Structure 1
Amino acid sequence: MAKSSIKMPTKTLEQFAHITTAMPDIAEEAVTAGGRVVEAKVRGNLSAAIGSGTKGKSRSTGQLLGALGLSPARVDRRGDHNVKVGFTENRRDDRPNALIANVLEYGKAGQTPRPFLRPARASSRRACLEAMKQVLHNRMKGG
C-alpha cells in the first residue's frame, strides 16, 4: 500500500486554525454586513413608496420607516447563521407594523400595491453577497 503525505506551510496551517476557531464570529459578522446592505435598500425603497401614488395627502407618521431594522445574527437549528430585515412589532395605536407593510407591499381594495420588499431583495442580492465575501476575505487575511 502506498503512503503519501502533504506538508503545508506553517502560515497556512495557522490560518486554518484561526478560521476554524473564529468561524462562528466570522459568519455572524458576514451575515450582519450582508443584512445591512439589504436593510439600506429596503429603507430606500420604503421611503420612495410611502406617500407615493396617493389620491390625497399622505398620512404617513414615519412609524413604519422608524420600525425598520436588522435583527441580531442568530444560529438556527441547522447551524446556519441568519439575520432578518423587518419591522418591530406594534405601532403606537397597537396595529402591527407588519400589517401596514403588507398592505403597502401587496395593496388592498382601493389601494394599489407599492412593492418595496421584493424589489429590494432582488436588487440587493449581488451587493449583499459581495459585502459578505469582503468580510470573509478580510478575516481570512487576518484582518
Structure 2
Amino acid sequence: MAKVDVKMPEEFLLRLSRLGEKTEEIIPKVLEAGGEVVLSKVKSNLQSVIGSGTKYPSRTTGELASALGLSPAKQDRDGNHNIKIGFSEPRKDGESNAMIANIIEYGKSGQPAKPFLKPAKSASRKPCIEAMKAKLEEELGRI
C-alpha cells in the first residue's frame, strides 16, 4: 500500500491555528463592517421617501430615521452569527417604529407604498460583501 506525507509550511499552519483562536473576535468585526454599509443605504433611502409625494405637508419629526440602528453581532442557537438592522422602540408618542416603517414600506389604504428596505437590500448586497471581504483580509493580515 502506498503512503503519502504532505508537509505544510510552518508559517501557514501557525496562521491557521491563530485564526482558530481569534475567530470569535474577527467574525463580529467583519459583520459590523458589512452592516454599516447596509445601514447607510437604508438610512439614505428612508430619508428620501419620508414626506415625499404626500397630499398634505409632511409632519415628520425625524424620530424614525434617528431610531434606525445596528445591533451587535450575536450568535444564535444554531451557531450562526447574525447582525440586524432595525428600529429602536418605543417612540415618544407611544407608536411602534416598526409599525410605521412597515406602513411606509408597504403602504396602507389611501397611502401608497414607498419601499426603502427592499431597494436598500438589493442595492447594498455587493458593496456589503466587498466591505466584509476587505475587513476579513485586514483582520487576517494582522494574524
- Listed as ranges, the gaps of 5+ residues in structure 2 are none
Shift of 1:69: 0.1
Runs of 4+ in 1 over 6 A off after TM superposition: none
Question: How far, CA to CA, are the matches of 1:60 and 1:103 in structure 2?
Answer: 14
Question: How far, CA to CA, are the matches of 2:2 and 2:21 in structure 1?
Answer: 33
Corresponding residue for 2:117? Answer: 117
Corresponding residue for 2:83? Answer: 83
Q: How many residues align?
A: 143
Equivalent positions of 1:13-52 (< 5 A) are: 13-52=13-52
Deviations 1:16-63 (A, max 9, x none): 011111112111111111111100000000000101111111000010
The alignment's TM-score, normalised by the length of structure 2, stands at 0.96
Residue type of the partner of 1:55? K
After the TM superposition, which of the residue ranges 5-14 and 34-43 deviates more from structure 2?
5-14
Corresponding residue for 2:10? Answer: 10
- Listed as ranges, the gaps of 5+ residues in structure 1 are none
Question: How far, CA to CA, are the matches of 2:101 and 2:6 in structure 1?
Answer: 56
- The yes-or-no answer on 1:55 pairing with 2:55 is yes
After the TM superposition, which of the residue ranges 10-19 and 112-121 deviates more from structure 2?
10-19
Question: How far, CA to CA, are the matches of 1:42 and 1:84 in structure 2?
Answer: 12
Question: How far, CA to CA, are the matches of 1:30 and 1:80 in structure 2?
Answer: 14
3-state DSSP class of the match of 1:141? helix
Residue type of the partner of 2:139? R
3-state DSSP class of the match of 1:39? helix
Residue type of the partner of 1:139? E
Residue type of the partner of 1:23? T
Shift of 1:2: 2.1
Shift of 1:126: 0.4
Shift of 1:137: 1.1
Question: How far, CA to CA, are the matches of 2:96 and 2:68 in structure 1?
Answer: 12
Identity of aligned residues (%): 49
Q: CA RMSD in A?
A: 1.0
Question: How far, CA to CA, are the matches of 2:6 and 2:135 in structure 1?
Answer: 29
Deviations 1:55-74 (A, max 9, x none): 11100001000100000000
Question: How far, CA to CA, are the matches of 2:22 and 2:108 in structure 1?
Answer: 47
